[in-house]
Amino acid sequence: MIRRLMLAATVVALPLAVLAADARRDAILADYAAKARAAAPGATAFSVQRGEALFRTKWTGGDPRTTSCTACHTADPRQPGQNAKTGRPIEPVAVSVNPRRFTDPATVEKQFTRDCRSVLGRDCTPLEKGDYITFMAGQ
């Protein structure tokens, strides 16, 4: 609770930093959009619904300890999570509570690679990555 209040205070105090973070997230999304179109010329827009389904679906094919993104990020993206493998705490993934989310391209790519393989047993496609970020940006 205290942490959440501190985060809220940070957001109020640093509107410019938040705006800059949005531009960086937009650039990441634009990159995934270009890759999605290259893979499938018919790909039009990212989808909040598909992003939510990716987040909540119980997948088979990955690590049985982590059949869903929610295994570590919890069913409520605004809540802190916990790593189902290591027990370590994870900050909320919803952009509304954690505006720094999805702003560093290398971190985003690294985690998508690790987490999609852990949950789905394969890499996520650029379309899936864009859908996921679009969903979280509205949470």
CB of 11 to ligand HEC, least distance (A): 16
CB of 73 to ligand HEC, least distance (A): 6
Per CB under 6 A, does 137 bind ligand HEC? no
Per CB under 6 A, does 71 bind ligand HEC? yes
Q: How far apart are CA 1 and CA 5, in angstroms?
A: 6
Per CB under 6 A, does 131 bind ligand HEC? no
Q: How far apart are CA 68 and CA 57, in angstroms?
A: 6
Helical segments of the chain, H only: 2-13, 15-39, 48-56, 70-73, 105-120, 126-137
Per CB under 6 A, does 52 bind ligand HEC? no
Q: Which stretch binds ligand HEC (CB under 6 A): 1-9, 11-19, 32-40, 102-110?
A: 102-110
Q: How far apart are CA 5 and CA 20, in angstroms?
A: 22
